A and B are shown apart, each in its own frame.
Chain A
Amino acid sequence: MKVIVCIKQVPDTTEVKINPETGTLMREGVPAIINPFDQYALEEGILTRERHGGTVTAISMGPPQAREALRDAVAMGVDDAVLLCDQRFAGADTLATAYTLARAIERLGGADLIICGKQAIDGDTAQVGPGVAEELDIPHISYVKKVVSIGDGRIKVERMVEGGVEVIESSMPVLITVMKDINQPRLPTLKGIMRAKRTEIKVWGLEDIGAEEGRVGLTGSPTEVIRVFTPELRKRGQVIEVPTEEAVAAVVRKLRELRAV
């Protein structure tokens, strides 16, 4: 069983604060982490290897510092890690990112199972996984909350949808995107951390993966962010600090006004 996990390094959005004066994002001291959903993807990859044998490779496209995310993945237990890093990859939207990851996966000789996180917490698009599958011309199953079984070149999973759960079967190779319900990611062991220190993270550029320059980075991205701004907060209403009876009366009055009582 050959597994490839796609991981992204993201700023920890829980730590992102807005500067109240300028209304801009304050990034200082915001740590870079492995996208939380990708931790579950890594864990599922490692679990699959433990159950079915084979190898797990983590890949990431990003700036040189994304090497740290891959090192963390090795510490968790993946066998191998590749960083796709090239000036020409910069400014990629989900289409160009999916294309680039797909070329790298081909260069790695493909995989039986490719695992992505449900979405990245910076862009929140959830589009890269299905995009990679399309580019590789393999099926995908998104929002997977449980892998039921793998065997005879087939996989059976549970997928979360509105109002319930779908049980889906697919031939392999297949790409799945995973939710947090799927497992409990392990912490790196001391041995893993030592191994991560020694492991060489391969770095591949455009030529290494045989990608077309016109389809990567900014050039290969049909979408274009033209404006970034801080969301307008709602207008502050009335805030009162009064004894309980009065507070209750105020709420009831408001509810009557809205015909909710």
Chain B
Amino acid sequence: MTGIRIREDVCTRCGECVAACPFGAIEITGGTGATSGLPRVNDSCTLCGACTDSCPVGAIEIARDSGAGPAPDHKDVWVFAEQRGGRIAGVVFELLGEGRKLADSLGQRLGAALLGSGVRGLAPELIAHGADVVYVADDPCLDRFRDEPYALVLEGMVNKYSPNIILFGATSTGRSLAPRLAGKLRTGLTADCTGLEIDTETGLLRQTRPAFGGNIMATILCRKARPQMATVRPRVMKRAGADPGRAGEVIPFAVDSGRMRIRTDVLEFVEEVTDTVSIEDADIIVSGGRGLGEARNFSLIQDLARAMKAAVGASRAAVDSGWIAYSHQVGQTGKTVCPKIYIAVGISGAVQHLAGMQGSEVIIAINKDPEAPIFKVATLGIVGDLFEVVPALTKELRKASGAD
């Protein structure tokens, strides 16, 4: 196995590394302790480094190139200013808020890359939310998002202005475009980050993200290649506030659409109509799970939500059972939400569900099983039968709002 070495003279055969390896890549034969063999690293190893951290005696070494600091000719933090139909995506304001912090701690500028057709007018809004410079590529070929022209134009911008960091929202657009651009630039890209910070010693971007269905977190660096690129999970970072008086620079970027090869076409966009508040924008969410037992009982959730003017969420079990549409699913394979209040009803709190709602400010859980893992994260947990508690609560809340 390349890259990893276990020093025989130092290793005590304690077995910590075997337990720590997320990939089951380390084996010890003959039990642990002095008489056993040296741990052996098999092909499943991804050189993630979990074992080096776990080793109490520092016997595991992973050979890496010594970390060069940020290349001096790459400066500034950029945000991809995703827009759809002339409206800036919500996540962009979160990226600007986070990007501002990163740029300030590096002493660099915050830039925004704005691509589209007839979008020049959006630049002041980006400046108001913290951008120092907005690079604008305004061309009919950029009207609707398409990976090829967007990636080509961004590549041109990056080659001209050499940013140090670029952040994208981890939306369907960002997660499609960013890997294409990273491929062109041959640089690293960290997916779906939930934490970003500048390493004070090296000035490198420390990118933290969940993996293994939220079971583990990983911190990732991109030492040598530039720019350092990341997609950032929506609704995790704090939105930037607006200051309409802020000054900034707008730099147009010329697009040579004639020279571009574009092989895809968006023929049509069919909007999905939802009648209720979308769960991503809601301040309060009432979510139901398998504990509701059957489809018609899901109305208990809808009634409670209506009484609180809340959005309706669901666990995957409820969605898979066909009680409610997929667009309401909260969790790893559904949506990440961080409302002010999340009420979980009849949801056990599997790690994949927690992955999507742990960021909520207050969690109220109603479950009859006192051992349900949801109680580990709940601000207020009610151990009880939802069929009694929920109707009574709905009634109480209706009374309260009627009295207002």
Contacts and interface: CB of A to CB of B under 8 A. Distances in A.
A261 B53 CA distance: 48
B47 A90 contact: yes
B267 A222 contact: no
Interface string B192-226: 10000000000000100011111111111111110
B189 to A, nearest CB: 6
Nearest to A253: B380
Per CB-CB distance, the 4 closest pairs between chain A and chain B, nearest first, are: A134-B183, A222-B188, A239-B381, A63-B43
Given A121-B213, A167-B267, A254-B380, 15 more contacts: A25-B212, A30-B24, A88-B2, A95-B183, A122-B211, A127-B178, A127-B179, A127-B182, A127-B191, A170-B263, A170-B264, A226-B206, A228-B50, A237-B380, A239-B381
B22 interface: yes
A131 B2 contact: no
A22 B53 CA distance: 13
B360 to A, nearest CB: 9
A184 interface: no
B180 interface: yes
Interface size class of A (residues with CB under 8 A): 35 or more
B183 A241 contact: no
A189 interface: no
B105 interface: no
B186 A258 contact: no
Contacts of A160: 172
Interface string B258-269: 000001111111
Contact of A252 (B21, B180, B376, B393): B393
B35 interface: no
B179 A124 contact: no
Contacts of B332: 124
A88 B265 CA distance: 39
21 contacts: A11-B23, A16-B212, A88-B2, A91-B45, A122-B211, A139-B147, A139-B264, A143-B176, A164-B270, A167-B270, A223-B189, A223-B222, A225-B220, A229-B218, A230-B215, A238-B379, A247-B366, A247-B384, A251-B382, A258-B340, A260-B340
Given A87-B2, A236-B377, A239-B378, A226 B393 contact: no
Interface stretch (B6-14, B111-119, B237-245, B396-404): B396-404
A218 interface: yes
Nearest to A132: B183
Nearest to B177: A130
Contacts of B47: 90-91, 218, 225
A229 to B, nearest CB: 5
Given A24-B19, A124-B191, A227-B53, A131 B382 contact: no
Contacts of A124: 191-192, 210-213, 332
Contact of A222 (B213, B222, B269, B397): B222
Given A223-B190, A245-B392, A123 B211 contact: yes
B252 interface: no
Contacts of A194: none
B68 to A, nearest CB: 12
A13 B215 contact: yes
B141 interface: no
A241 B384 contact: yes
A130 B179 contact: yes
Interface in B232-282: 263-272
B22 A248 contact: no
Given A88-B2, A95-B182, A25 B176 contact: no
Contacts of B300: none
B276 to A, nearest CB: 14
